[in-house]
């Protein structure tokens, strides 16, 4: 298995888990915030999509790849947020599929001037999604709802 295949397999596994959590969100929960300073559930989904688009767009630019047209827009309902998140994730997978193991070991300076390997940036995107998936799970618990499972029995 190549490193690219491994990263794609990890993304698929984590994406499927997040998909199962998001599938349990009711449309009326879109604007739910467990406390005033928190992001709403809808903002959490949008945030996952935005950060993936931003970081992988930056990575593609560092590799001098063609600009990825993520076309992120703030969502105003659950259906559009989920649709956008899926679309951006699919574009991210397509970008990664066009890499090879040698490119994964390319180092670049991020916009914040941090040296980073391409594989590290992809792992950062994965970690970010898992973090916010956990926050959404916590929201379910804060409103005394049972969170959906993120695995298949």
User: Could you report the per-residue pLDDT of 83-111, keeping only the tens digit for each?
Assistant: 999 999 999 999 999 999 999 999 999 99
Q: Please give the chain's pLDDT, 153 residues, in tens.
A: 999 999 999 999 999 999 999 999 999 999 999 889 999 999 999 999 999 999 999 999 999 998 899 999 999 999 999 999 999 999 999 999 999 999 999 999 999 999 999 999 999 999 999 999 999 999 999 999 999 988 877
**Which domains, from first to last, does the chain contain?**
3-142 (1.20.120.450)
> Residue 2 in 3-state DSSP?
coil
Q: How far apart are the first and last CA of the chain?
A: 26
Region for 74 from its dihedrals, namely left if φ exceeds 0, alpha if ψ lies in -120 to 50, beta otherwise: beta
């Amino acid at each position: 298995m190549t490193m690219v295949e491994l990263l794609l397999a990890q993304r698929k596994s984590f994406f499927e888990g997040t998909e199962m959590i998001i599938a349990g969100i009711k449309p009326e929960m879109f604007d739910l915030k467990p406390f005033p300073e928190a992001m709403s559930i809808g903002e959490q989904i949008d945030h996952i999509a935005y950060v993936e688009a931003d970081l992988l767009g930056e990575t593609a630019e560092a590799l001098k790849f063609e600009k990825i047209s993520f076309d992120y827009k703030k969502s105003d309902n659950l259906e559009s947020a989920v649709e956008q998140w899926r679309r951006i994730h699919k574009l991210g997978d397509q970008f990664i599929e066009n890499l090879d193991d040698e490119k994964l070991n390319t180092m670049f300076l991020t916009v914040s001037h941090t040296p980073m390997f391409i594989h590290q940036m992809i792992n950062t995107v994965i970690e970010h999604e898992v973090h916010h998936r956990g926050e959404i799970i916590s929201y379910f618990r804060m409103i005394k709802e049972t969170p959906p499972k993120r695995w298949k029995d």
